[in-house]
Amino acid sequence: MEAKYVRWRQNYLRSSDQGLYCFYNGKGDNGDAITCSEAHGYAMLIAVLHRNQQDFDGLLRFFLNFRNKNGLMKWQIRMKNGQTYVEEDGESSATDGDIDIATSLFQASKLFPQGGPPAYPPGTYFHEASRLCKSILDHTIHPTLHVPLLGDWCNQESNEARRLYDSTRSSDFILSSFLLFHRMHPDPNVRSRWQEVLESTLQLVLSQPNPSGLIADFYEFDRSSSTWRPARGKLLESENDGQMSWNACRTPWRLAHYYAVTGDRRILPLLERMKSTLQDPRRTDFPKVRAGIRVEDGAAMVDYSDRSFIAPVGYLCHSLGDSQGHRSCVDALNQEEESYFGDSIDLVIAEQAMAAPYWL
């Protein structure tokens, strides 16, 4: 565990005049972008769960320097000639990043109650967590469907915007954080609303009829039938938006973590179906979980794997008491190429697994 943490920190944690950040653009696919809110959320979770308060404070400073008008983190930050900047399309938010940041701040308020002197006196972490938690609720939760929006840029200003407004992304189904917010926010009205978000999102997940138990990247709300269904074709990112792809790869971990910290048996049958599909003895790919899977039947859509798919399935096995399946996934992880996304997910999962007993 320690070696994995040290390697991740050496590879991805970097400093700037605005604080520490997680570098996510090692392949250069995103031009001069250096980080995004998703990466920052992972980094803050890793720092607090590893009890590295100095890193956490540096990451907090970066977050505070890159909040938008709604108090949420600007989703993408760039650097040119040593100077950070944000383009117009980077000003909006991405919901999962802010959820993870708020989660890390609430955890920091418990693990570091003395604050982080001299910059952050006692109470700072809890204050910032509470403020961010309320901003997420106000700007990135659907006011009537009570599930996560794609970001604070979702609105009803046009037919296309309305279509996205009535959609949600499974990488934002972070149920254990919703419960944490419900328990820790100081305002009882906010706590009540987060309970509603938890229940509405959980019911969306449990309402899906496919026997595989797999969750799609994106869902759309059908107002004529008042039901949620996987996206049909490209909704936002690709033709695979209605399948288990690069967003839903995280759902075996996120949903299993909720079960691990709560023991809520309502979600257990879904998790067992999901594991059974991914471990089907007729398949030849487990534990090298393919990086794209059909939700209807669990069939692989590509012939390659990735750490960001394997690590969540390993945690699913762990949470359901399958030590052999978990060990197989751990062994398979070592055969995959390193990358920010897979490495960060793998480390957050490892840290959360150890923190589960005191999560809530």
Regarding predicted confidence, which is higher, 156 or 309? 309
Q: Report the candidate in 94, 89, 69 with the shortest Cα–Cα distance to residue 78.
A: 89
pTM of the model: 0.97
Asked if residue 316 lies in contact with residue 253, where contact means CB atoms within 8 angstroms, the answer is yes
Quote the number of domains for the chain.
1
- Average pLDDT in the 77-90 region? 94
Asked if residue 102 lies in contact with residue 177, where contact means CB atoms within 8 angstroms, the answer is yes
| pLDDT for the residue numbered 60 | 98
Residue 355 lies in a domain: no
Residue 343 lies in a domain: no
Taking CA atoms, 63 is separated from 75, 97, 152, in Å, by 11, 11, 17
Cβ contacts of 327 within 8 Å, gap of 6 or more: none
Residue 19: strand, helix, or coil: strand
- Average pLDDT in the 330-355 region? 94
| pLDDT for the residue numbered 29 | 86
d(CA 180, CA 310): 26
CATH number of the domain where residue 73 is located = 1.50.10.10
Asked if residue 333 lies in contact with residue 289, where contact means CB atoms within 8 angstroms, the answer is no
The 10s digit of each residue's pLDDT in 229-256 is 999 999 999 999 999 999 999 999 999 9
Residue 76 lies in a domain: yes
**pLDDT of 26 over the 80 cut:** yes
Whether residue 188 has a cis bond before it, omega within 30° of 0: no
Regarding predicted confidence, which is higher, 106 or 158? 106
d(CA 147, CA 129): 20
**pLDDT of 59 over the 70 cut:** yes
Regarding predicted confidence, which is higher, 47 or 118? 47
Of the pLDDT bands very low, low, confident and very high (cuts 50, 70, 90), residue 357 is confident
Report the 10 Å Cβ neighbour count for 131.
15
Angle between helices 175-184 and 95-111 (to 10 degrees): 50
Q: Work out the percent of the chain whose per-residue pLDDT is above 90.
A: 89
Question: Helical H runs in the chain?
Answer: 2-12, 37-49, 53-65, 95-111, 124-140, 159-165, 175-184, 188-206, 251-262, 268-278, 307-319, 323-333, 340-355
Strand order in the sheet with 218-222: 167-169, 218-222, 227-230
Phi, psi of 222 (to 5 degrees): -90, 105
Residue ranges making up the domain that contains 135:
1-140
Residue 44 lies in a domain: yes
The 10s digit of each residue's pLDDT in 116-155 is 888 899 999 999 999 999 999 999 999 999 999 999 999 8
Q: Report the candidate in 151, 150, 162, 40 with the shortest Cα–Cα distance to residue 105.
A: 40
Of the pLDDT bands very low, low, confident and very high (cuts 50, 70, 90), residue 327 is very high
Residue 276 lies in a domain: no
Phi, psi of 290 (to 5 degrees): -65, 145
d(CA 162, CA 164): 5
- Average pLDDT in the 305-331 region? 96
Cβ contacts of 336 within 8 Å, gap of 6 or more: 305, 306, 307, 310, 342
| pLDDT for the residue numbered 283 | 66
Taking CA atoms, 246 is separated from 213, 238, 293, 339, in Å, by 17, 10, 10, 14
Residue 21 β-bridge partners: 14
**pLDDT of 158 over the 90 cut:** no
Residue 45 lies in a domain: yes
| pLDDT for the residue numbered 282 | 66
Of the pLDDT bands very low, low, confident and very high (cuts 50, 70, 90), residue 358 is confident
The 10s digit of each residue's pLDDT in 266-288 is 999 999 999 999 987 666 677 88
Residue 357 lies in a domain: no
Residue 145 lies in a domain: no
